[in-house]
Amino acid sequence: MTKDLVLLDADIDPRDAFNKLDGANRKLAPAVDADGRLVGILTRKAALRATLYTPATDAGGKLRIAAAVGINGDVAGKAKQLLDAGADVLVVDTAHGHQESMISAVKAVRALDPQVPIVAGNIVAAEGVRDLIEAGADIIKVGVGPGAMCTTRMMTGVGRPQFSAVLECAAEARKHGKHVWADGGVRHPRDVAMALAAGASNVMIGSWFAGTYESPGDLQQSADGRFYKE
């Protein structure tokens, strides 16, 4: 137990917090409000990270939220409810996104709000990129079949190797001043590097996080002692 307690103001700048902790040779310290009430714990590592990465929050300090509406049913109605609830980004997606239903859905969502960012997909060819951008999409999701749990290629015979798809789609998106996300196919760290090198602005990952405690599903143990999520 120490009598030389280090306290941090709840609204302290992360850089100042790091300097204070580092100067006191402390890994962490309590954060208190103006009345001296404990509101949390701030670590030296967290303070350092906060200076390197921009928090995914809006101007009001709220976490930025992206919500998916799909292409079936009342797409515009669902999108409006999500926007009214505070969604920052709308995602219009289906397994094979280069189809009339997808284009109509993107147009319907764009008609609601000319400013909200729209993510649309999934597609694997430049023609699909052009059509979805013309319909109103800002970001195109690329990937049909590469995901660990995806059965689209097996069930429909539609798909394409992910690197080739991202390379072609990213090149087309750049012509229009738009971006692509590489969705799926990440099994090794190299896959992330390859997707970014091919032109993706973002990489979506599922299987790496699926087995974590934070992900949905119940933790099960197989007969051979291996843990998995169900």
In the chain, where the domains are located: 8-52, 66-210
Cα distances (angstroms) measured from residue 207 to each of 84, 188, 210, 215: 32, 11, 5, 10
Q: Does the annotation mark 169 as catalytic?
A: no
Architecture (CATH level 2) of domain 66-210:
Alpha-Beta Barrel (3.20)
Q: Work out the pLDDT band at 124, boundaries 50, 70, 90.
A: very high
Give the residues across from 228 on adjacent strands.
220
Cβ pair 187, 193 in contact under 8 A: no
pLDDT at 155 > cutoff 90: no
pLDDT of residue 221: 85
* Set 42, 150, 167, 169: catalytic member: 150
If DSSP codes are grouped into helix, strand and coil, which group holds residue 111? helix
Stronger pLDDT, 13 or 214, i.e. the higher one: 13
If DSSP codes are grouped into helix, strand and coil, which group holds residue 93? strand
Cα distances (angstroms) measured from residue 130 to each of 66, 98, 99, 168, 224: 23, 10, 12, 12, 49
pLDDT at 2 > cutoff 70: no
Can you tell me the mean pLDDT for 82-94?
96
Q: What is the pLDDT of residues 169-222, one digit of tens each?
A: 999 999 999 999 999 999 999 999 999 999 999 999 988 888 787 788 888 888
Stronger pLDDT, 228 or 12, i.e. the higher one: 12
> CATH code for 8-52?
3.10.580.10
Interior CA angle at 15 toward 203 and 41, to 5°? 85
pLDDT of residue 217: 83
Give me the chain's average pLDDT, please: 92
Return the percentage of the chain with pLDDT > 70, whole number: 99
